[in-house]
Amino acid sequence: MVKEKKSAVQQRLDNGVYGTPKIKPDEQRKYLGTFRERVCLTISVAELHEKNWQPELAAELAKGIGKLVFVNGNLPHEMVHGYIQTAAKAGAEFTMKTAPEYKVQPASLAIVVAAKKAVYQSPVDVQKRYPQQENNQQKSNKKENGGFLHRLFHREGR
């Protein structure tokens, strides 16, 4: 039997009883309430534990494309406080998402920078989007420690 189109009254009753249907609910859950095509940058819970990504967040907000910052409010305040301050300094709007559907497992997202309209940015993962920051830190550490040739030719007391 072919499914007939529901009347406006029936749709309104269904929405009242079951709630308004969501478009791509799994995607919205993953990206802290927004759609993937609006996302500019994501920082996972695991990445948040690895290092401080506030400079990368500031750099992304300085581009001016995404000015909405969604923060997983189920994480401890100490973990996200600096990111909230960075967003506020950049003049971005931020929203704490505390619904139980936003998890705190390592693969879950902690910070999402998004635009109000679709921007189709790729990649959005902070480690893939800003790999040079990690490389620059590793290079500066090598320069500080010096290599074999550096130690050989730049001895103290020459």
Give the model confidence (pLDDT) of 78-136 as tens digits: 999 999 999 999 999 999 999 999 999 999 999 999 999 999 989 999 999 988 755 55
Q: Residue 25 pLDDT more than 90?
A: no
Residue 120 belongs to some domain of the structure: yes
Q: Residue 56 pLDDT more than 90?
A: yes
Q: In this structure, what are the phi and psi dihedrals at residue 148, rounded to the nearest 5 degrees?
A: -60, -50
Residue 12 belongs to some domain of the structure: no
Q: Residue 153 pLDDT more than 70?
A: no
Residue 56 belongs to some domain of the structure: yes
Dihedral sign for Cα 31, 33, 39, 42, please. negative
Residue 141 belongs to some domain of the structure: no
SS3 content of the chain, % helix, strand, coil (to 5): 45, 15, 40
Provide the domain limits for residue 115. Answer: 24-126
> Would you state the pLDDT for residue 158?
45
Residue 73 belongs to some domain of the structure: yes
Residues β-bridged to residue 97: 72
Residue 156 belongs to some domain of the structure: no
Residue 134 belongs to some domain of the structure: no
Residues β-bridged to residue 12: none
Closest to 50 in 3D by CA, of 30, 29, 71, 79? 79
CATH of residue 84: 3.30.1330.30
> Would you state the pLDDT for residue 96?
96
Task: List the structure tokens of 135.
Answer: 């490389």
> Would you state the pLDDT for residue 136?
52
Residue 97's CB is within 10 A of a number of other CB atoms, namely 18
> Would you state the pLDDT for residue 128?
93
Q: How confident is the model at residue 2 (pLDDT cuts 50, 70, 90)?
A: very low
Q: Residue 140 pLDDT more than 60?
A: no
> Would you state the pLDDT for residue 1?
43
Q: Tell me how many domains the chain contains.
A: 1
> Bigger pLDDT: 88 or 146?
88
Residue 76 belongs to some domain of the structure: yes
